[in-house]
Structure 1
Amino acid sequence: MAPKDSTREAHFPSIEKKHGEPMKYWFAVMKKLDSKKYPEQIAHLRENYGFSQAHANALVMFSRGSVSSRRHETSADYFKSIKPEQAKTMKKIFKAIQSKFPKLELVIAWNQPMLKNGDEYIFGASAATNHILIAPWDQQVLKEFTPHFAEYRVNKKTIALPNDWPVDEKLLQKMIKASIKK
């Protein structure tokens, strides 16, 4: 399980414990891999030392100067980092949901805005290059509402909407209501 601390260093005690070497040793290994690309560094740690993806990523990214996996502290920070049209649509999506369900908390998780009901994630959204992805966390809800999104691309866990999607407040609210009931 990933530590709640988003710093790369939060993984270091687990790396030392699991692989039996101090971080000084692992930094020396990374120094030797300095000229390699990210995928090669990850593969080397996984194949030669049995690192998990999370531990390999933490070590590689720390060695490359990234000390935290957190890119956005707030939803406002997230919205500033995406195209204005996407930000406008996503803000409308979250506003439509929170107007009906004000107790849902808007948080940043996995570097994107998510709605939580207590400790449970209910809904998330993210901006891709040419579309916005929305994701009800409950797969039954996604399956149930797929027909309502027939004109869009429905993936395994997400729905791809155009950046300028005319927000269907009632549909989103029904999805959230179904998610909360489950």
Structure 2
Amino acid sequence: MHAFEEFLAKIDRPEHRAEMEEVLAWVADTFPQLKPKIAWNQPMFTDHDTFIVGFSASKGHFAIAPEEATMNRFLDEIVQSKHDHTKGLIRFKWGQPVDFPLLERMIAFNIEDKADCTTFWRK
């Protein structure tokens, strides 16, 4: 998780930093083929130089951004789970349980769906 040390150090509250570190470590452990990197000052994971999932942190929550196409694919499930979301991300209030099963399905979908993608973002 060396790639994310500087990002994590900027999260002021230790409990928030630990929560974000747990989520990032979970992704790295669950999908070891993904490459961790910082881009646009955000932690993200890529596969063959294509975006798979990104994260951000703010005062009240952290967000998981898997790209709009993935959000659309899982929108019914996101709405049924009552996760706070926009068209491009899911927000989790600090201390709120992370929906790891949903996150795993979204990442797996992106890996499979973008297997032949030759660009960073979907076109």
Aligning the two structures, in what range does the TM-score lie when normalised by the shorter sequence?
Answer: 0.7 to 0.9
Partner of 2:16: 86
CA displacement at 1:86 relative to structure 2: 2.4
Which of 79, 84, 104 aligns to 1:173? It is: 104
Which of 43, 56, 64 aligns to 1:113? It is: 43
Partner of 1:129: 59
- 1:110 counterpart letter in structure 2: W
CA displacement at 1:96 relative to structure 2: 2.2
Higher relative contact order (Cα pairs below 8 Å, separated by 6+ residues): 2
CA displacement at 1:128 relative to structure 2: 1.3
Distance in 2, matches of 1:91 and 1:114, equals 12
5 Å-filtered alignment, 1:145-160, equals 145-150=74-79, 151-160=82-91
CA 92–148 in structure 1, closer or farther in 2 if over 3 Å, else same: farther
Distance in 2, matches of 1:84 and 1:144, equals 34
CA displacement at 1:100 relative to structure 2: 2.1
**Larger strand proportion, structure 1 or 2?**
2
- 1:155 counterpart letter in structure 2: T
Distance in 1, matches of 2:22 and 2:5, equals 13
Distance in 2, matches of 1:148 and 1:161, equals 15
Instruction: Specify the structure having the higher radius of gyration (Cα).
Output: 1
- 1:149 counterpart letter in structure 2: I
Aligned residue pairs, count: 109
- 2:31 counterpart letter in structure 1: F
Alpha-carbon RMSD across the aligned residues, in angstroms, is 1.8
Q: Deviations over 1:128-148 (max 9, x none)?
A: 1211111003x2211122333
Q: Secondary structure at 1:90's aligned position in 2?
A: helix
Partner of 2:69: 140
Distance in 1, matches of 2:56 and 2:16, equals 9
CA displacement at 1:165 relative to structure 2: 2.6
> Structure 1 vs Structure 2: percent identity of aligned residues?
31
Distance in 2, matches of 1:95 and 1:146, equals 25
Q: Deviations over 1:21-45 (max 9, x none)?
A: xxxxxxxxxxxxxxxxxxxxxxxxx
- Normalising by structure 2, we get a TM-score of 0.78
Distance in 2, matches of 1:123 and 1:74, equals 15
- Normalising by structure 1, we get a TM-score of 0.55
**Larger helix proportion, structure 1 or 2?**
1
